[in-house]
Amino acid sequence: MKTALIIEEVPSFREYLKTKLEDNNIEAILAINGLDGITKLRNTIPDLLIIDYNLNRQGCMEILKQKRASAGLAPIPVIVTAQQLDQKKILELVPYNVKKVFSKPIKIDALFTTTQELLGVTFAIDTSPGIVEVHVNEDIIFVEITEGLNRDKLDLLRYKITELMELYQIRVPKVIIMISGFSLKPSDAPNLVKLLNNVLRASQAAQRNIRILTKDDFLKNFIKEQKEYKDIEVVSKLQYALDGLLKELNKVENGEKQAVLMGDKVLSAGESKGESIQLRFDGEVRFSLEEVKESLHGLSIAAVDDDETIRELIKHTFSGFDIDLSFFPDGAEFTESLDNAKYDLILLDIVMPRADGFAVLRELSYRNINVPVIILSAVSQRDTVIRAFQMGIKSYLTKPLKPAEIFKKALEILKVNF
């Protein structure tokens, strides 16, 4: 049996890879950080090493250097995953038998194809189209599915939801599943069952707290005909989904969070629970803000806001981190920078001179630049929030803001989202 060592600090991705490898008769050995990884590399001598570039405690390059110095370990092929690496850093990996570098969010089918080629095995890979994204706003889990129902990505969804529930410590889960960009047919029924069961299993949400947002007639009829999903509501507009979940929230939580989850602020991040954050990534390990510095090492963030106070707040939020921060007082100056700069994350205001936030979003779409965007805005009208989500943003945070809110949301998107 072939063996693969996975050195990865994101538990959901780590466990997902383990499951998929073992489903294809490959033994998966897991390491939770660099120090754990180098020990297991020496003790097991795997047939393949899959390693995250941004590791804590002992970095990827340090592990690769030690691996290269050992005659028994040097020949092992390596797959590197990373948020984003420039050409210089990629070239630095070449001498260490790195066969492929995958940027996050990772194309799962491409990763599995490379894995089976390097190990000389045959994988059961779903090559059908499908994009699955998950994010959290105000304790509502948004699941966005476009292009198709790819089974491998639906499996990944289960781990992703579990990760976000731990990160945000969601007590009463509420889920909106948004399906668009493709038409469903009877042959999709098994994958629909997989989607719904994975969401229910991972979130543990009551069916009355799940909404499906779609205009697809087959999906509407499918849910209506399935008795086991009789309490899941299908809606055609996001407003209906949100209104329904707010009503259910008031029933379940007896109005405890009504002051936070009111009307136009429903899609905002809500109130933070203080400046000191403990981020829980699995049942055994907790990381403080200090301990996640290495995971954000070398990333590039653009802050586009005409408010100097907000720019200073962002600067304070990421102070002490090795992050390349670029500041722009308006949308026009930012879009001009896109000819020569690449970003891992964009923090964007809506109301600005010269070019507002929506103009920036249109320009990003026109240029086909797929960079995650977090809106930071004092505008909280529901129509504006929904319009921003429809234009592809990842999150909408309502001013006034605290550093902890911005950091936690950025970490979710940069570190947890894959």
Determine the Cα–Cα distance for residues 412 and 408; give it in Å rounded to an integer: 6
Q: Does domain 131-261 have CATH number 3.30.750.24?
A: yes
pLDDT of res. 7? 96
Fold match between domain 131-261 and domain 278-416:
no
Arithmetic mean of pLDDT over the chain: 82
Distance of CA 396 to the CA centre of its chain: 15
DSSP 8-class letter at 82? E
| Domain layout of the chain by residue ranges | 3-119, 131-261, 278-416
Between CA 382 and CA 226 the distance in angstroms is: 33
d(CA 83, CA 332): 27
pLDDT at 268 over 50: no
- Under the banding of pLDDT at 50, 70 and 90, the label for residue 328 is very high
The CATH class, in words, for 278-416 is alpha beta
Backbone torsions φ then ψ of 278, nearest 5 degrees: -110, 120
Strand order in the sheet with 3-7: 27-31, 3-7, 48-52, 78-82, 98-103
Sheet of 210-213: strand order equals 131-137, 140-146, 174-180, 210-213, 233-235
Q: What is the pLDDT of residues 35-68, one digit of tens each?
A: 999 999 999 999 999 999 988 778 899 999 999 9
Q: How confident is the model at residue 253 (pLDDT cuts 50, 70, 90)?
A: very low
Nearest CA-CA partner of 48 in 19, 17, 23, 69 = 17
Supply the pTM of this predicted model.
Answer: 0.62
What was the pLDDT predicted at 248?
Answer: 54
pLDDT category of residue 125 using cuts at 50, 70 and 90: confident
Q: At what angle do helices 382-390 and 357-366 cross, to 10 degrees?
A: 10
Fold observed for domain 3-119? Rossmann fold (3.40.50)
Neighbours of 122 (CB within 10 A): 9
CA–CA separation, 58 and 54 (whole Å): 10
Contacts of 413 (CB under 8 A, 6+ apart): 135, 345, 372, 374, 394, 395
Please write the tens of the pLDDT for every residue from 330-372.
999 999 999 888 898 999 999 998 889 999 999 999 998 888 8
- Provide mean pLDDT across the span 261-274: 35
